[in-house]
Structure 1
Amino acid sequence: MAAAGLGWDVKVLDGLGYEELEKLTGVENFPKFKIPSRPVKGSMPEIEFEHPDCVLLVFPSGLSEFKVAYKELSCAISDFSGLDWKGKPNVLSKEHICWDIIYRTAEAAKKPLTMSNLSVVDPFQSSGTFSESSYKDLSLRELVRKRRSAVDMDGSTVMSKETFYQILLHCVPSGSHGGKKHVRQLTLPFRSLAWDSEVHAALFVHRVVGLPKGLYFLVRNENHLDDLKKDTRAEFKWVKPDGCPDDLPLYELASGDCRELSKRLSCHQDIASDGCFSLGMIAHFEPTLRNKGSWMYPRLFWETGVLGQVLYLESHAVGISATGIGCFFDDPVHEVLGLKGSKFQSLYHFTVGGPVVDKRIMSLPAYPGTSDDA
């Protein structure tokens, strides 16, 4: 979003593998850590080694084609191993707890080099417009600097269904493109990701005027729609709600007050039930890992993170707030939806609504000069 606001585009150079990223960042010079067979507590400074994730390519917006030869790039990066890296990272903690499963998962999710050439840049697609009047008069700079995580929701703020639809139109990946299916990630900021959309949203609607309370589903990759209908509860309606835009793949599954349910699923946190709506992000999981590789595991979380950031900015743009919910019960979420096995997996939760402002917290400008901060 920051790059786009300055006239640039961004892509993850996802052909590079973990070894290339280690060399490029100098992380390969860190002491190697032998993963124990069980959780261990003690002094383990080598546990603080870094995990490089990705390289982003920033290039002029509107460019339709460029070439990235990953094999040649990998050879060039290999020369970084001969560099004399300066500095030594500080030890962050005197004592550590090694949760072995975390490090074993990180090992299993390391990506190899992919020998393919990136040459075509997908054309930019703008998101659909349904209710521009829902937005406050804020510049991108003002909006980004006002973005905060709500610590509590007021349990009373409502939004119109038009605003709800407008927010969700910015959450689908392919934009407004003449009735074609949402699959490819072509809109901002999803277009920076190098794969088709794999993350959906199960929505608990609490306080949206003109829309029945209940359980809804936003299908962000419409190639998965048939599987979702087949794999979820047979009694779900799967009908478009009243007034829903044609290019918004939103479906009502079941009507009813689900405030207590959403609260219970999110570790009994009021914040899941006291907003306008909350949601669980549901990934197309096992088939993605099987067909593309186990290295897609962290990338599914990246996609949930990008979706979460869009929801943060959208909520602030309409004058309310939002926050991620990291504590939730995934198996009960699957039970509510009727999902079995690991084809679809709950990865993250989120809530949007009217914030309760903690006046004990002081907010200072994040940057020098004229402040646009909240």
Structure 2
Amino acid sequence: MVGYEQFIRRILREMKDKTQLVVRYHERTKHHPNRYARSPGFLDWENEPDPFRRYEGATVLPLPLGEEDPDGDYRDLYERGKNQFQPFTLRNISKFLELSLGLSAWKSYGGAKWALRMTPSSGNLHPTEAYVILVLSESNHRGGVCHYSPFLHALELRAAFDERLWLRIKDYCGGSGFFIGLSSVYWRESWKYGERAYRYCNQDIGHAMAALSFAGNLLGWKMTYLNSLSDQDVGTLLGFQKTDWIRYESERPEAMFFVHDYSEINAPADVPREIVDSFGSLSYIGEPNSLSNDHRDWEVIEEVSSAAEKERSQVAKYRYREYPFPEEEVPSKQAASVIRQRRSALAFDARTALPKENFLAMLDKTLPRDNAAPFDLGLGETSVDLLIFVHRVSGLEQGLYFFLREESHLGEIRRRCRQDFLWEKGDGKSGSVGLYFLKRGDFQNEGAKAG
């Protein structure tokens, strides 16, 4: 009994140490008014990372491109059940990947040329890579572990299933659905952002999750986060332990999802350990291409990544409230068109005002809802609320606002805030928990410093 208690105390101490390391990283990599977080301080164009991962020697399975986009308007990106289920064919998987992680355009300027993608990314650096694990029935391949190449719009087959594993996975999935895994290449971000790269990689994983959830919903598909898997499990499924990575260019496993019919209530929420272990016996083909000729070592990124590594756990299920969507919001654009025309906002004229109804509709889309993309992946409890500097919103007084995404947070947040805040409930319900007016005034300078 004494030995068990010592073991538990040691585990708790290690968890505390890791948590403190992550918190120290967060504090260390904040920008401050008198200094920026550590970074290279310049752009080393000679060693700009290749934005496209390739596995040289892997079998390339081209995906059909230029197919007709799924039906559905803007509202259909969010609500489940409005889009008819489409079968899990390569043609539909192609649409799914193109509308989430594919290329949307090419741009050129001054002799340079670069790609834009459907999903946003900090600095357009795209540290996120995607892998598909699927059972094929319409080709000569049984299926296996494939890397998605947005440049080629193709699957690179890294490991093929033997018949025994093929049958086990097919039986476990019920023959309807497939897995998609995400990873991060820290070097793509640290090349520009230095120590803050870990922050941006996590941000981009969130972008990819949302993009995949939206695209899947247009096909009548839902993604379920397999939250019991450890990072090591995900790495095993993707063959990372058997990949000869170039130093500083390795990929870190982030998350694994099961893609299934949105109406399937008993979809797998885990991958049994024996199936995970079976992936360790597969032969993985293809050498990762070199991304840069030279690198800079940012040790703190590896430290925080190791400290935050996820261990295997019990399956956790989360439920959110079923807020109604605003009735006055009238969809007017095709959903796929909205996705394809997404661009990052680079400049504002400092004059144009945003209509209040549009502002409230934007806030409303940040609310986690059951049976609505993208937050019903099953990632966890709602833990982020929004402090907003309102400068030019017609119908709203200029000032500081707080938007609660979870009403149970209100008491604790008020206790931690300044006593002179007003906490006046706005008229911005819009199906939401609430928008609170905290303080009147022009906060443009404070907003710029905070950004």
TM-score category, normalised to shorter length: 0.5 to 0.7
Residue 156 (structure 1) aligns with:
351
Give the secondary structure class of the aligned counterpart of 2:418.
coil
Shift of 1:31: 5.3
Q: Are the equivalent residues in 2 in contact too, given 1:64–1:122 (CA < 8 A)?
A: no
Residue 221 (structure 1) aligns with:
406
Size of the alignment, in residue pairs? 238
Residue 277 (structure 2) aligns with:
78
Identity value in percent: 28
Query: Does 1:260 find its partner at 2:451?
Result: no
Query: Does 1:28 find its partner at 2:227?
Result: no
Query: Does 1:173 find its partner at 2:368?
Result: yes
Residue 2 (structure 1) aligns with:
215
Give the secondary structure class of the aligned counterpart of 1:138.
coil
CA–CA distance in 1 between the matches of 2:342 and 2:291? 28
Shift of 1:124: 9.1
CA–CA distance in 1 between the matches of 2:354 and 2:328? 12
Could you tell me which of 337, 340, 355 is aligned with 1:142?
Answer: 337
Q: Are the equivalent residues in 2 in contact too, given 1:127–1:187 (CA < 8 A)?
A: no
Q: Are the equivalent residues in 2 in contact too, given 1:130–1:165 (CA < 8 A)?
A: no
Give the secondary structure class of the aligned counterpart of 2:439.
strand
Residue 132 (structure 1) aligns with:
329
Within-5 A mapping of 1:1-374: 1-30=214-243, 45-70=246-271, 73-116=272-315, 125=322, 127-133=324-330, 137-174=332-369, 187-242=372-427, 244-245=429-430, 247-266=432-451
Q: Are the equivalent residues in 1 in contact too, given 2:426–2:435 (CA < 8 A)?
A: yes
Q: Alpha-carbon deviations, 1:31-68, whole Å to 9, x = none?
A: 58xxxxxxxxxxxx422111011111111112223344
Residues 158 and 69 from structure 1, CA distance in 2 versus in 1: closer, same or farther, beyond 3 angstroms? closer
CA–CA distance in 2 between the matches of 1:142 and 1:229? 41
CA–CA distance in 1 between the matches of 2:252 and 2:428? 46
Give the letter aligned to residue 80 of structure 1: F
Shift of 1:15: 0.8
Unaligned runs of 5+ residues in structure 2 are 1-213
Q: Alpha-carbon deviations, 1:247-299, whole Å to 9, x = none?
A: 33211111111112111222xxxxxxxxxxxxxxxxxxxxxxxxxxxxxxxxx
TM-score scaled by length of structure 2: 0.49
Give the secondary structure class of the aligned counterpart of 2:333.
coil
Residues 140 and 250 from structure 1, CA distance in 2 versus in 1: closer, same or farther, beyond 3 angstroms? same
Q: Are the equivalent residues in 2 in contact too, given 1:131–1:166 (CA < 8 A)?
A: no
Unaligned runs of 5+ residues in structure 1 are 33-44, 175-184, 267-374
CA–CA distance in 2 between the matches of 1:87 and 1:67? 29
Q: Are the equivalent residues in 2 in contact too, given 1:161–1:211 (CA < 8 A)?
A: yes
Larger Rg computed on CA atoms: 2
Q: Are the equivalent residues in 1 in contact too, given 2:401–2:438 (CA < 8 A)?
A: yes
TM-score scaled by length of structure 1: 0.59
